[in-house]
């Protein structure tokens, strides 16, 4: 079987010649929590001051936001992160966005999305949701969307660097490890493998082999 990675150690490959850009390409896994947990709390807080927004509506909108994130996660991973342009510049761009993670899957400094990427994306999605839902329904929905994103980032880091006997965690971890070490053309759902089933990008269930880190 073709080796799908360059190193399985917790080491960082240099991405930029410029030291400033290189520094911003690395991020500690706690950073998304520091950045987004206060934002989530803020949007939940202001949701309770929206006139005529019932508690049931709040929960349904929040759950809808989590659901939409799961679909967004799948599509970003499959169609954006795994898109491989043919030009040399496109190949470099692909390496920066996602290729480096597949080459060095255990690099703990490039497992969560850097704020330089996630914040502009969050702002973009916020205004898209506000345009579609209006200002009254957007806060709880966007809070759910960010909850889904934060769960994804923390789950992704945990999959690569923590061990647990929890059956749900082991199922998610096995799914993602197959994507890295066996077949990177399938298994695009990181924290929500559901969409791999829906879009027929799940792994062959007859293959019971487990990929072990070497």
Per-residue pLDDT of the chain (214 residues; tens, 9 = 90+): 567 777 888 888 888 888 787 887 888 999 999 999 999 999 999 999 998 899 999 999 999 999 999 999 999 999 998 988 888 877 888 888 788 889 898 988 888 988 988 999 999 999 999 999 999 999 999 999 999 999 999 999 999 999 888 999 999 999 999 999 999 999 999 998 899 999 999 987 655 444 444 3
3-state helix, strand, coil in the chain (%, to 5): 60, 0, 40
Give the number of other CB atoms < 10 A from CB of residue 11. 12
pLDDT for the residue numbered 11: 82
Q: Give residue 49's pLDDT.
A: 92
**What's residue 205's pLDDT?**
65
* Residue 46 contacts residue 139 (beta carbons within 8 Å): yes
Helix (H/G/I), strand (E/B), else coil: 208:
coil
Alpha-carbon gap, residue 184 to 162, rounded angstroms: 21
Burial class of 139 by CB neighbour count within 10 A (0 to 12, 13 to 18, 19+): buried
Max CA separation in the chain (angstroms): 59
Three-class SS state of 73: helix
Residues with Cβ < 8 Å from 201, sequence gap 6 or more? 78, 185, 186, 187, 188, 195
Q: Which residues of 185-206 are buried (b: 16+ CB within 10 A; e: fewer)?
A: ebbbbbbbbebbeeeebbbeee
Confidence (pLDDT) at 2: 63
pLDDT of residue 206: 57
Determine the Cα–Cα distance for residues 199 and 41; give it in Å rounded to an integer: 33
Position 87 scores a pLDDT of: 83
Q: Cα–Cα distances in Å, from 66 out to 13, 74, 153? A: 33, 13, 13
């Amino acid at each position: 079987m073709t080796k799908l990675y360059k190193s399985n150690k917790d080491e960082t490959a240099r991405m930029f010649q410029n030291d400033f850009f290189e520094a911003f390409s690395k991020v500690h896994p706690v950073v998304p929590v520091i950045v987004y947990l206060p934002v989530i709390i803020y949007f939940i807080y202001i949701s309770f001051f929206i006139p005529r927004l019932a508690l049931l509506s709040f929960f349904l909108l929040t759950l809808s936001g989590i659901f939409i994130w799961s679909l967004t996660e799948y599509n970003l991973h499959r169609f954006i992160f795994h898109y491989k342009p043919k030009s040399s510049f496109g190949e470099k761009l692909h390496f920066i966005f996602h290729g480096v993670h597949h080459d060095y899957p255990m690099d703990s400094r490039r497992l969560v999305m850097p704020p330089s990427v996630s914040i502009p994306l969050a702002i973009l999605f916020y205004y898209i949701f506000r345009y579609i839902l209006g200002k009254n329904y957007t806060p709880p929905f966007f809070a759910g969307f960010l909850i889904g994103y934060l769960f994804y980032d923390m789950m992704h880091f945990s999959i690569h660097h923590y061990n647990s006997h929890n059956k749900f965690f082991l199922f998610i971890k096995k799914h993602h490890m197959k994507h890295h070490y066996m077949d990177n053309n399938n298994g695009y759902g990181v924290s929500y493998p559901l969409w791999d089933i829906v879009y027929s990008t799940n792994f062959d269930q007859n293959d019971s082999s487990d990929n072990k880190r070497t």
